[in-house]
């Protein structure tokens, strides 16, 4: 089980790029790293870039929902981008699209938040 995680800040927006598998083996590590970065400073919005994520299970959904709640408490917005068909279907079945937007790529997500590149 391999997971790649990359984080980048643009103003008050944290972009988290996930690749590989987000499952019960990797979920806790992702949660801890994201919470540390969100708590580190002026992080109001979160873009979760899933273009390289091949697999996700309910543990991954739990991590994402928890970070959504954390960002909402800060008055921010969480956006998803670039999910492959199987990950997209999992979000669709879980109902998370009712509370989060999804875009084809990071640029469109950034445009939604009006963050200049």
Model confidence over 67-91: pLDDT tens digits? Answer: 999 999 999 999 999 999 999 999 9
Question: Which uninterrupted H or E stretch holds 27?
Answer: helix 27-39
pLDDT at 1: 65
Domains and CATH numbers, the chain: 3-113 (3.30.750.24)
Q: Tell me which long-range contacts 93-99 makes (C-beta under 8 A, separation of at least 24).
A: 94/61, 96/61, 96/64, 96/65, 96/68, 99/68
Residue 61 · residue 93 · CB < 8 Å: no
Predicted TM-score of the model (pTM): 0.93
Reported as a single tens digit per residue, the pLDDT across 14-37 is 999 999 999 999 999 999 999 999
pLDDT band at residue 115 using 50, 70 and 90 as cut-offs: low
């Amino acid at each position: 089980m391999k997971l790649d995680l990359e984080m980048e800040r643009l103003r008050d927006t944290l972009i988290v790029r996930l690749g590989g598998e987000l499952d019960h083996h990797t979920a806790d590590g992702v949660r801890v790293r994201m919470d540390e970065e969100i708590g580190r400073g002026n992080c109001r919005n979160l873009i979760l870039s899933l273009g390289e994520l091949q697999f996700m299970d309910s543990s991954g959904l739990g991590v994402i929902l928890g970070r959504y709640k954390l960002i909402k408490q800060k008055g921010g917005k969480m956006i998803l981008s670039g999910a492959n068909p199987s990950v997209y279907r999992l979000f669709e079945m879980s109902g998370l699209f009712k509370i989060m937007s999804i875009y084809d790529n990071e640029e469109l997500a950034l445009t939604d938040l009006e963050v200049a590149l």
